[in-house]
Amino acid sequence: MAKILIPTPLRQFAEKNDSVELAGSTVAEVMTALTAKFPDLRKQLFNDEGKMRSFVNVYLNDEDIRYLKKDATPVAAADTLSIVPSIAGGSPSIAGGR
C-alpha cells in the first residue's frame, strides 16, 4: 500500500492523521480511496466536476504528478504520495527588501 502524507491544514478532515496507507495502482485510485476513507477531504481536494483543485499539488515521491501522467500516474506499494496545498501571501518586506 502507498503512503499518503496529509499536510497540517487538511488533517482536520482526516481524523487528525498525518499519513495513511491505502491501496491503489494509480494516483486517481489512491486519491479515491483516500476520499472514501475521509469523505470530508473530498471537497478540499476536488471541485464539483471531480477534478483536482488547481491549488492542490500531488507529488509521487519527489515528482510532481503534473509532469508525469497526472492522476493516471502508476503507484507502487513502496511509493509515497504527498498532498501539498499551494500557499499564497508573504511579507512585502521580505520580497521588496528594506
pLDDT at 85: 85
pLDDT at 54: 86
Which string of DSSP letters, residue by residue, matches 28-70? HHHHHHHHHH-HHHHHHHB-TTSPBPTTEEEEETTEEGGGTTG
Residue 80 inside a domain? The answer is yes
Instruction: Show the domain range for 32.
Output: 2-87
Grid cell listed for 71: 492522476
Residue 22 inside a domain? The answer is yes
One digit per residue, the tens of pLDDT, for the chain of length 98 reads 999 999 999 999 999 999 999 999 999 999 999 999 999 999 999 999 989 888 899 999 999 999 999 999 999 999 999 999 887 655 555 555 54
State the CATH number of the domain containing residue 78.
Answer: 3.10.20.30
pLDDT at 86: 80
Residue 96 inside a domain? The answer is no
Q: How many domains does the chain have?
A: 1
Residue 74 inside a domain? The answer is yes
Cell 509532469, residue? Answer: 67
